[in-house]
């Protein structure tokens, strides 16, 4: 069953029923000011950091699930009837309803009793504010007397403190109201130099800033007393819960239309110019007023919206494809790329499953997210790489996360994940390939954000590699540390006390537990450094990394190969995991993906054996599960992975992020049909038709789909913020469609299904437009390339001369007899 449909021309998903199985959300803003918005206008906003600069309050784990947001109430003053044009929170039976989630905006339209209301929510580029543009239309043949109420609940900035420290916070709230603008200035009197404002384009008939005055005692957002009465009491909040609500009375003639603009924004003042007059406690509004005045003008709102649309056309225009499969086209051209921007911005910090309080920007996560984003705005990827590298530990290791506001690393979500360092190498490699910017390697970058510790980024990469080599175990495989990519494989943790966090509780400084996955990752990263060093004429380094990779590969074949697949790890007792010898957890997906991506077994059919084992033991119609057999009970020596009931999360769920590794691996051995089949199984657009089972948004990937051991097999969870976005983007665009940036130019090497006649693509690469046409001539992946009518040897298109605008590429594949 479906709850809407794709509108690919508009690049929107159109939800036609408000009671979706879960809130189906979108993100507003793509630079510094962000909002999450659901299909019923739920959600919240923040500036840069969802924990430390939270503008509006949101209660997670609420009932109903999605409550609190950017609400508008309409009241028919003739009969006192009121409703929410976004359905929530009043939940009246709307006569018409659509929610269009687009690229950085959401438009919710409804009709109730012949009053049409359409609200467009978006964040203008380069501004720290969001616009709600409400268009009201009276479809009746008679006049309508309507009251409009807006409503947001302010958060007292630090979202964690806001949800816990009531004895203080109930006394700190402060507001101002000047010229129809509600200002929220809690803590502005002391150390904050920022405030929030909520403005309206109309003359007010009333307002509220105290929540209980608006709602009335013992009432909720579905039934506010002020809306019911059609009167606001002009309350000023002194402590308790500050809100913003404007009340506007509108007379609409038959068929008349009216626009009302609301602005919710964040503003900073210079520390020494906070008040006006200077000796008062009144916010200095000199610099914010022009911004507010600008966006209360409909023509400026219109222009800002057009700019946002153009911005996205530009970003998505970096790669557009036409393949025989509409789900591929839609994901590549629109939604997967869009999700990559969101994961790049948020890492795992703020979604409907991540509170924005617990996690900042993950080190491993951000390096991976960048892989799907780098082609859109290489400059921002560059900045991110330098930020990440500046948090790197001197010994080459990493803080597992950093706070977006301060850009400083911390151990809040644990440390000592021994795979972390290597991901930086992959991110830098992807950036250099995309941008051709070798200068980044010479940037002087600090360690642990400490002045005076700078070395060139190139050395950061070397230390990343050395970190692994300094930590080898009894089999000479890399020690796993707290965990590798699988945060939940905690082989040194031995946690037996309820409530301990597997990620942060004291770990044994284990010298035995090893990871085959990190070995694969190390080889993959080492191969990149070999190429990078080669380009820098650093032969010694190239030779060193080459040798290290070879040695590691030999070690994997010796200790990490199980006969028909790659093993997963050795535990603290030196026992193997992910082997036919195990009763549970015989085979894991991660080392199959990573080792084959690193090239292991590709030449000698062992990769094929491993992938056949994946197909046999792990692949389900809903995607490939993480391991089998699932852990039927909690194993002290395995940690969190066995804490989940079978079929969920890392315990044999379809952990979607790992699936594209297998797709890429399949293309390495030339099996396009198999790769594409896996791609299709978890493609959200393809799963749209089973939305009632899948439950999450059909336009973005979720972290997990319940595996076949789970009672709710096929049900997705944790949508939006997952490495799945970036890796699937890489798998489909670079491995299957085969459009791969390399250090020396764009490579065209598709491994597509046999049944495809070909595909077309436009790729902007290093400022040149590549117009690519791939035609199938027969079976197999053998390829022949023509550039502007001339055939060239190999698969990499040499970098064109300066000033080349467009290159015409004809690729013929399947030339085997």
* Alpha-carbon span 58 to 155, nearest angstrom: 8
| Least distance in angstroms from the C-beta of 520 to ligand GLC | 14
If the CB atoms of residues 130 and 697 are measured against ligand GLC, the closer one turns out to be 697
* Alpha-carbon span 501 to 505, nearest angstrom: 5
Give, as ranges, the residues between 721 and 750 that touch ligand GLC (CB under 6 A): 722-723
| Least distance in angstroms from the C-beta of 343 to ligand GLC | 10
* Alpha-carbon span 813 to 568, nearest angstrom: 36
Considering only the stretches 484-492, 567-575, 728-736, 775-783, report the one whose residues sit in contact with ligand GLC under the rule CB under 6 A. Answer: 484-492
Which of 115, 108, 97, 121 lies closest to 28, judged by CA?
Answer: 121
| Least distance in angstroms from the C-beta of 617 to ligand GLC | 20
The pair of structure tokens assigned to 658 is 């790992």
Which of 701, 704, 731 lies closest to 717, judged by CA?
Answer: 704
Q: What is the DSSP string of 257-323?
A: EEEEEEEEEEEE--GGG-BSSTTSSSBP-TTTHHHHHHHTSHHHHHHHHHHHHHHHHHHHTTEEEE-
* Alpha-carbon span 549 to 519, nearest angstrom: 9
Number of residues that bind ligand GLC (CB under 6 A): 16
Give, as ranges, the residues between 604 and 643 that touch ligand GLC (CB under 6 A): 640
Q: Judge contact between 94 and 18, C-beta under 8 A.
A: yes
Q: What is the DSSP string of 102-124?
A: -SSEEEEEEEETTEEEEEEEE--
If the CB atoms of residues 498 and 789 are measured against ligand GLC, the closer one turns out to be 498
Considering only the stretches 80-88, 438-446, 479-487, 761-769, report the one whose residues sit in contact with ligand GLC under the rule CB under 6 A. Answer: 479-487
788 an active-site residue?
no
| Least distance in angstroms from the C-beta of 29 to ligand GLC | 22
* Alpha-carbon span 482 to 125, nearest angstrom: 41
The pair of structure tokens assigned to 770 is 């590549």
Binding mask 707-726 for ligand GLC (x = CB under 6 A): ---------------xx---
* Alpha-carbon span 718 to 25, nearest angstrom: 12
* Alpha-carbon span 289 to 284, nearest angstrom: 10
If the CB atoms of residues 723 and 741 are measured against ligand GLC, the closer one turns out to be 723
| Least distance in angstroms from the C-beta of 709 to ligand GLC | 16
What are the φ/ψ torsions at residue 687 (nearest 5 degrees)? -85, 0
| Least distance in angstroms from the C-beta of 682 to ligand GLC | 15
Q: Is 340 in the site for ligand GLC (CB under 6 A)?
A: no
* Alpha-carbon span 289 to 278, nearest angstrom: 17
Q: Judge contact between 362 and 343, C-beta under 8 A.
A: no
From 162, 325, 487, 562, the catalytic residue: 487
If the CB atoms of residues 281 and 501 are measured against ligand GLC, the closer one turns out to be 501
Q: Judge contact between 4 and 305, C-beta under 8 A.
A: no
| Least distance in angstroms from the C-beta of 703 to ligand GLC | 6
If the CB atoms of residues 354 and 666 are measured against ligand GLC, the closer one turns out to be 354
Q: Is 365 in the site for ligand GLC (CB under 6 A)?
A: yes
Classified as helix, coil or strand, 324 is coil
If the CB atoms of residues 651 and 674 are measured against ligand GLC, the closer one turns out to be 651
If the CB atoms of residues 185 and 649 are measured against ligand GLC, the closer one turns out to be 649
* Alpha-carbon span 157 to 709, nearest angstrom: 42
Q: What is the pairing mode between strands 806-813 and 768-776?
A: parallel
* Alpha-carbon span 156 to 267, nearest angstrom: 15
Q: Is 703 in the site for ligand GLC (CB under 6 A)?
A: yes
If the CB atoms of residues 192 and 717 are measured against ligand GLC, the closer one turns out to be 717
Which of 467, 505, 56 lies closest to 243, judged by CA?
Answer: 56
Q: Is 413 in the site for ligand GLC (CB under 6 A)?
A: yes
* Alpha-carbon span 157 to 248, nearest angstrom: 28
If the CB atoms of residues 662 and 739 are measured against ligand GLC, the closer one turns out to be 662
* Alpha-carbon span 794 to 792, nearest angstrom: 7
Q: Judge contact between 575 and 583, C-beta under 8 A.
A: no
Q: Judge contact between 664 and 735, C-beta under 8 A.
A: yes
Give, as ranges, the residues between 501 and 530 that touch ligand GLC (CB under 6 A): 503
If the CB atoms of residues 17 and 505 are measured against ligand GLC, the closer one turns out to be 505
| Least distance in angstroms from the C-beta of 457 to ligand GLC | 23
Site for ligand GLC (CB under 6 A): which residue of 53, 100, 285, 348? 348
Q: Is 364 in the site for ligand GLC (CB under 6 A)?
A: yes
Q: Is 488 in the site for ligand GLC (CB under 6 A)?
A: yes
Which of 77, 71, 79 lies closest to 37, judged by CA?
Answer: 71
Give, as ranges, the residues between 644 and 663 that touch ligand GLC (CB under 6 A): 649-650
Considering only the stretches 41-49, 251-259, 432-440, 486-494, report the one whose residues sit in contact with ligand GLC under the rule CB under 6 A. Answer: 486-494
Q: Is 485 in the site for ligand GLC (CB under 6 A)?
A: yes
Give, as ranges, the residues between 659 and 698 that touch ligand GLC (CB under 6 A): none
| Least distance in angstroms from the C-beta of 423 to ligand GLC | 10
| Least distance in angstroms from the C-beta of 404 to ligand GLC | 15
| Least distance in angstroms from the C-beta of 659 to ligand GLC | 13
225-228-231 Cα angle (round to 5)? 80
Q: Is 487 in the site for ligand GLC (CB under 6 A)?
A: yes
Q: Judge contact between 780 and 793, C-beta under 8 A.
A: no
| Least distance in angstroms from the C-beta of 160 to ligand GLC | 16
If the CB atoms of residues 501 and 550 are measured against ligand GLC, the closer one turns out to be 501
Q: What is the DSSP string of 393-413?
A: -TTS--EEEE-TTT--EEEEE
Q: Is 568 in the site for ligand GLC (CB under 6 A)?
A: no
* Alpha-carbon span 526 to 575, nearest angstrom: 27
Considering only the stretches 335-343, 480-488, 553-561, 764-772, report the one whose residues sit in contact with ligand GLC under the rule CB under 6 A. Answer: 480-488
If the CB atoms of residues 38 and 486 are measured against ligand GLC, the closer one turns out to be 486
Considering only the stretches 107-115, 220-228, 362-370, 683-691, report the one whose residues sit in contact with ligand GLC under the rule CB under 6 A. Answer: 362-370
If the CB atoms of residues 513 and 752 are measured against ligand GLC, the closer one turns out to be 513
Considering only the stretches 46-54, 90-98, 483-491, 628-636, report the one whose residues sit in contact with ligand GLC under the rule CB under 6 A. Answer: 483-491
Which of 431, 636, 652 lies closest to 532, judged by CA?
Answer: 431
Give, as ranges, the residues between 76 and 115 that touch ligand GLC (CB under 6 A): none
| Least distance in angstroms from the C-beta of 347 to ligand GLC | 8
Q: HSE-up of 69 (CA within 13 Å, CB side)? A: 30
DSSP type of residue 364:
H
CB-nearest residue to ligand GLC = 487
What are the φ/ψ torsions at residue 675 (nearest 5 degrees)? -60, -45
The alpha carbon dihedral of 17, 23, 24, 29 has a sign of positive
Considering only the stretches 117-125, 427-435, 482-490, 575-583, report the one whose residues sit in contact with ligand GLC under the rule CB under 6 A. Answer: 482-490
Site for ligand GLC (CB under 6 A): which residue of 124, 362, 409, 714? 362
Considering only the stretches 238-246, 321-329, 358-366, 794-802, report the one whose residues sit in contact with ligand GLC under the rule CB under 6 A. Answer: 358-366
Catalytic residues: 487
Contacting positions for ligand GLC (CB under 6 A)? 348, 362, 364-365, 413, 485-488, 503, 640, 649-650, 703, 722-723
């Amino acid at each position: 069953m479906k709850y809407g449909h794709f509108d690919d021309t508009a690049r929107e998903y159109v939800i036609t029923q408000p009671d979706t199985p879960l809130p189906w959300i979108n993100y507003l803003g793509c630079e510094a000011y962000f909002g999450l918005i659901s299909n019923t206008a739920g959600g919240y906003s923040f500036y840069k950091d969802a924990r430390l600069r939270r503008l509006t309050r949101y209660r997670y784990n609420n009932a109903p699930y999605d409550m609190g947001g950017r609400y508008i109430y309409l009241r028919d003053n003739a009969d006192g009837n009121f409703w929410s044009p976004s359905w929530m929170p009043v939940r009246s039976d709307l006569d018409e309803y659509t929610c269009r989630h687009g690229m950085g905006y959401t438009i919710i339209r409804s009709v109730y009793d012949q009053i049409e209301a359409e609200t467009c929510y978006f964040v203008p580029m380069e501004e720290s504010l969001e616009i709600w543009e409400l268009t009201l239309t009276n479809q009746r043949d008679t006049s309508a007397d309507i009251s409009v109420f807006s409503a947001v609940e302010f958060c007292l900035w630090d979202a964690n403190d806001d949800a816990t420290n009531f004895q203080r916070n109930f006394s700190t709230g402060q507001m101002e109201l000047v010229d129809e603008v509600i200002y929220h200035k809690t803590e502005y009197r002391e150390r904050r130099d920022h405030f929030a404002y909520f403005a309206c384009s109309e003359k007010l008939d009333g307002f509220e800033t105290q929540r209980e005055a608006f709602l009335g005692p013992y009432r909720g957002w579905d039934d506010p007393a002020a809306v019911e009465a059609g009167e606001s009491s002009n309350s000023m909040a002194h402590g308790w819960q500050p809100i913003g609500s404007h009340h506007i009375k509108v007379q609409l003639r038959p068929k008349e239309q009216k626009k009302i603009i609301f602005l919710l924004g964040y503003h900073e003042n210079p520390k020494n110019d906070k008040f006006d007059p200077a000796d008062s406690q009144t916010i200095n509004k000199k610099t914010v007023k022009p911004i507010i005045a600008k966006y209360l003008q409909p023509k400026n709102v219109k222009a800002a919206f057009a700019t946002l649309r153009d911005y996205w056309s530009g970003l998505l225009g970096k790669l557009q494809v036409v393949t025989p499969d509409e789900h591929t086209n839609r994901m590549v051209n629109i939604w997967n790329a869009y999700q990559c921007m969101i994961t790049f911005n948020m890492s795992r910090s703020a979604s409907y499953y991540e509170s924005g309080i617990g996690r900042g920007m993950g080190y491993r996560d951000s390096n991976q997210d960048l892989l799907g984003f780098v082609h859109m705005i290489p400059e921002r990827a560059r900045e991110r790489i330098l930020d990440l590298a500046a948090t790197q530990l001197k010994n080459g290791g990493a803080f597992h996360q950093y706070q977006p506001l301060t850009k400083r690393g911390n151990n809040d979500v644990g440390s000592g994940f021994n795979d972390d360092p290597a991901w930086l190498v992959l991110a830098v490699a992807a950036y250099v390939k995309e941008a051709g910017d070798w200068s980044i390697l010479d940037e002087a970058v600090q360690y642990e954000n400490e002045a005076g510790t700078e070395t060139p980024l190139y050395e950061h990469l070397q230390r990343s590699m050395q970190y692994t080599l300094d930590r080898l175990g009894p089999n000479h495989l890399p020690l796993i540390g707290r965990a590798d990519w699988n945060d939940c494989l905690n082989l040194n943790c031995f946690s037996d006390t309820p409530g301990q966090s597997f990620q942060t509780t004291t770990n044994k400084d284990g010298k035995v537990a090893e990871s085959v996955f990190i070995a694969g990752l190390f080889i993959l990263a080492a191969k990149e450094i070999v190429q990078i060093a080669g380009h820098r004429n650093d032969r010694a380094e190239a030779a060193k990394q080459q040798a290290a990779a070879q040695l590691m590969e030999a070690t994997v074949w010796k200790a990490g190969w199980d006969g028909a697949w790659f093993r997963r790890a050795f535990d603290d007792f030196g026992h193997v995991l992910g082997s036919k010898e195990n009763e549970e957890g015989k085979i894991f997906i991660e080392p199959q993906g990573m080792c084959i991506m690193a090239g292991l077994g590709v030449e000698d059919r062992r990769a094929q054996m491993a992938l056949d084992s994946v197909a046999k033991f792990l692949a389900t119609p809903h995607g490939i599960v993480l391991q089998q057999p699932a852990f039927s009970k909690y194993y002290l020596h395995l940690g969190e992975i066995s804490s989940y009931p079978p079929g969920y999360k890392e315990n044999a769920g379809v952990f979607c992020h790992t699936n594209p590794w297998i797709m890429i691996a399949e293309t390495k051995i030339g099996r396009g049909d198999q790769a594409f089949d896996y791609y299709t199984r978890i493609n959200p657009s393809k799963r749209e038709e089973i939305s009632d089972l899948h439950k999450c948004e059909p336009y973005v990937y979720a972290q997990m789909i319940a595996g076949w051991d789970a009672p709710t097999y096929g049900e997705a969870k944790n949508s939006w913020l997952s490495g799945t976005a970036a890796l699937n983007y890489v798998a489909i665009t670079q491995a299957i469609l085969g459009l791969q940036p390399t250090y020396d130019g764009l490579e065209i090497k598709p491994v597509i299904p046999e049944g495809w006649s070909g595909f077309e693509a436009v790729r902007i690469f290093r400022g040149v437009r590549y117009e690519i046409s791939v035609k199938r001539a027969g079976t197999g992946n053998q390829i022949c390339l023509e550039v502007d009518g001339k055939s060239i040897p190999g698969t990499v298109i040499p970098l064109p001369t300066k000033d080349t605008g467009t290159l015409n590429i004809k690729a013929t594949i399947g030339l085997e007899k």
